[in-house]
Amino acid sequence: MRKVLLVLVLLVIVVPIVVVVARSARPVINLTTEVSTIGQATPIGVRVTDPRGIRSASATVEQNGASYAVWQVAQASKAKEASWNFTAGVRTTPQLKDGKAKLIVEATSNDLLHKSARVEREVSVVTQPPTVSVDSEQHYIYIGMADLATFSVSGAYTAAGVRVGDQSFRAWPMPGGKPGLFSLYAFAWNMPQTTIPVVFATNGAGNDVTSPLTVVFPKKEQPHYTVHQLQISDQFMQKVVGELDPNGTGDMVARFVKINSEMRKANNKTLAELRFKTADHFLFSQPFQRQSHSAAEATFADLRHYIYQGKEIDQQVHLGYDLAVTQHVGVEASNDGRVVWAAPLGIYGNCIVVDHGYGLQTIYGHMSHFDVHEGDMVKRGQVMGQSGMTGMAGGDHIHFAMQLDGVQIDPKEWWDPHWIQDHVARRVELPGFHP
């Protein structure tokens, strides 16, 4: 009996304490901006969640044993969640010096226990923007094609390269241990012709510097893209919809157009993201080669009007070459490289992507069969499988395309040894290359 009483007494006293402690978790702090560098006035976002409200929140920067307050919340709040944006940097904390530092964010619960939480980030203080110095060459730019620029960046930087409009092309260290950097870059087929490519460098602290390339757009030699009317038969529409939207229902034309537009866009995004699966050196030493004995049934950036029963139902741009030989011909690797994709890919059907280094990749679509796997090294001319008509193909052919840092380009200049010599091998070391 006394034991039971003791247990009851313990329950009465202990349980409320346990409940109070258990209910009182700590505030949760999230940095909503990725901060690795602090510069002049670097924007920082913080979100704090706490069911009991937020009594206080603050940020400090610690460097060389000193601690500097950079932000704090003015008053306590009952809100369960709050977000703030503030800046930290030399403008408001002139004592900061170039070098390592620590950003600390703390928050305290708005209840009796005042539980607090803290997050820390190692950061670099960078007070000076980087500087870029660009080669003095004239760059001959052809719409839809590639070029190479050399440059150097001094000072601390987190990213550099060539920027064309809203597209960025990475900088790589010059091969062969030479000083400086280079970028292979593209002027996309649909980029406004008034766009001037620039070399950029950023230190991640809000300091972004650019310097324009000297560019020439030779008027006469710019490509003229062709326009085609594609008659869509019921048979082709059923083949495409049956293969790429097998469980869909509803209007055939709407489903076909959705595949042609939305699936195409998603597939191109998947291709573009393969830019990160690239070697940091050239994997090839010879010009690219075009599929043997092939006839081009379509070329790069053809504009296609899709006509069904006399009515236009869609418009798309074809970003490659359709190369036809015979049915189930061996699909040859255009150059030495590494297979980074060998799997079905929507409108491209069974698709192979081969990386050749520095973000340069070749794409082979509509195959019936693969002889290689992701990760395999392939040699120029090596048969990687057989052609077919998987995906959005009405007949057996190879859809051959090329991309540079995720931007699809016209492959034809890479088939030309003189172009590679003039634009690439003359500017960076391309071991073993002889035009």
Give the binding-site size for Zn ion (rule: CB under 5 A). 2
Q: Which of residues 166-185 bind Zn ion (CB under 5 A)?
A: none
The span from the CA of 170 to the CA of 230, in Å, is 37
The separation between CA 103 and the C-alpha centre of its own chain, rounded to angstroms, equals 28
- How far CA 190 is from CA of 146, 165, 282, in Å, comes to 14, 11, 27
Site for Zn ion in 395-414 (CB under 5 A): 399
Q: What φ, ψ does residue 413 adopt, rounded to 5°? A: -75, -25
256's enclosing H/E stretch is: helix 252-258
Phi, psi (deg, nearest 5) at residue 198: -125, 150
CB 339 to Zn ion: min, Å = 20
**d(C-alpha 321, C-alpha 363), whole Å:** 10
- We find the least distance from the C-beta atom of residue 351 to Zn ion, in angstroms, to be 11
| Residue (83 or 231) nearer to Zn ion, CB | 231
Q: Is 264 in the site for Zn ion (CB under 5 A)?
A: no
| Residue 387 Cβ vs Zn ion, minimum distance, rounded to whole Å | 12
Residue (189 or 358) nearer to Zn ion, CB: 189
Q: Which is nearer to Zn ion, 322 or 376 (CB)?
A: 322
When CB distances to Zn ion are compared, the closest residue is 399
**Per-residue mark of binding to Zn ion, 74-93 (x: CB under 5 A):** --------------------
CB of 317 to Zn ion, least distance (A): 11
* Cα–Cα dist 1/3, whole Å: 5
User: Residue 402 CB, nearest distance to Zn ion (Å)?
Assistant: 13
183 within 8 A of 161, measured Cβ to Cβ: yes
| CA 72 from centroid of its chain's CA atoms | 36
Q: Which is nearer to Zn ion, 156 or 319 (CB)?
A: 319
Q: What is the DSSP letter of 371?
A: S
Q: How far is the CB of 385 from Zn ion (least distance, A)?
A: 17
Continuous H helices in 174-263: 234-244, 252-258
Shortest Å, Cβ 42 to Zn ion: 46
Site for Zn ion in 272-331 (CB under 5 A): 322
Longest Cα separation, the chain: 105
Residue nearer to Zn ion on the CB measure, 338 or 399 = 399
Of 106 and 322, the one with the shorter C-beta distance to Zn ion is 322
Binding site for Zn ion (CB under 5 A): 322, 399
